[in-house]
Chain A
């Protein structure tokens, strides 16, 4: 074991892991974080706490993670390279570990153009792959990125990264994963999977390079609440691949039945993905629909979560 991370224990124990996310509020209410996280208590192995997602200012991922930790859950600290340079990020990694956070996800982050501070500088002192290298260097060599030794306690982070099998150029996407693993990623959370065939094709490439044996791949899942949500993801979110047949299926049922249909699609997807060699678990992104995660996990036969 590289770390004390609960997620690492679950994955290395051979269980299908389940993670989900909790987006911190656009205000300073601790209670909001606690209320949202409560939906996930006992239902998932780690709770991703997003870091200014979609480039909109929110309570910090670190503060959100601590609040979730205080509830006895396992936070997964997301960190984007968009907002801070390497000094600030390393400082937060030390602080996070000191506060009991041992699992993180290394991202470059959505461009500021999409958020509420389009006028802000995109920092990108380092990129997501270099962030993975940095966290690994801190953990395995006890060194800061600049080369100096970390004094005393070394932050032992279980290192996650993202992968989007649906972005272009498709042929590069397996190699990009290989690069993230070579940099030090222990686990991967993928973009939401709606186009299963394309995902299977990507996994074929992943297996061909033996990457599924070097790192755990959690398949990204998002239940669609309505046909509007399906259309929005299909047309408005760069790098999302929602096949037309799913949009049609959602629009084919009455408005009040659409949420149930969305959950049904999500469960069917999970059943199919369980059969894909190399899928080590699920990352359920129920955006503003956290209360449904428990039902999804239970119906997917992934409850109770292993006690490791």
Chain B
């Protein structure tokens, strides 16, 4: 999933300061799963904004709403009847959702209420880690199912650097050495000879190195 974290309240307030009526918009997908921008977080943020306004003797009208998917035009259309009841939109979706809104409602200011972080998964309750950088040419088939691009701090493709100690990356205690993990997996799978194959320099075009990427499925596109 795409993970996100809520922005500091002061930053959010700085965006919405000039406006009287706000549409605070959650998303029911990834940001709900990672507890950053779903229905519940929309409610919490709305209260936080109201309390802060009250403290400063100001007032603001906040309309709370959560879409099934903010990155999908089909769901964004749902906003047409209500969009003009707000002066600005504060989106709690990832950057994809924010941009979907900005593209659809060209004259409406849209602000992000979260920082989009990474594509990852949950390690345990309340903890998410990065798993994929969307390089567009998946290597997992030869690295034992563990990604050196996303999980090695130097995205080394041919083995661990000299800073790997006891399974820990040189950058710090919390980070596991990706190549240590890969090596353990290759051992468990009886595939250690695979390590000797040199992985050639990567073609980053697939990973966004030559501009924004696009997928067109002729069989589906209208």
Contacts and interface: CB of A to CB of B under 8 A. Distances in A.
Contact of B159 (A109, A113, A172): A172
Contacts of A258: none
- Indicate the member of B160, B163, B179, B196 with the most A CB atoms within 10 Å: B163
B170 interface: yes
A109 B170 CA distance: 12
B201 A169 contact: no
A124 interface: yes
Interface stretch (A42-50, A178-186, A300-308): A178-186
B195 A130 contact: no
A191 interface: yes
B12 interface: no
A102 to B, nearest CB: 23
Given A111-B171, A175-B195, A182-B198, A122 B161 contact: no
Contacts of A183: 158, 198
A184 B98 CA distance: 48
Contacts of B192: 175
A126 interface: yes
Interface stretch (A71-79, A160-168, A280-288): A160-168
Contacts of B155: 122, 124, 127
A168 B158 contact: no
A86 B201 contact: yes
Given A86-B201, A133-B201, A183-B198, A122 B177 contact: no
Interface string B168-211: 00111000010110011000000010011011111010000000
B165 A238 contact: yes
B204 A167 contact: no
Nearest to B180: A169
Nearest to A129: B158
B162 A133 contact: no
B157 interface: yes
B183 A167 contact: no
A108 B198 contact: no
Contacts of B165: 167-168, 238-239
Given A82-B154, A124-B156, A169-B183, A238 B163 contact: yes
A238 B170 CA distance: 6
12 contacts: A111-B170, A113-B172, A127-B156, A130-B200, A167-B162, A168-B165, A169-B184, A175-B192, A176-B158, A183-B158, A239-B165, A239-B170
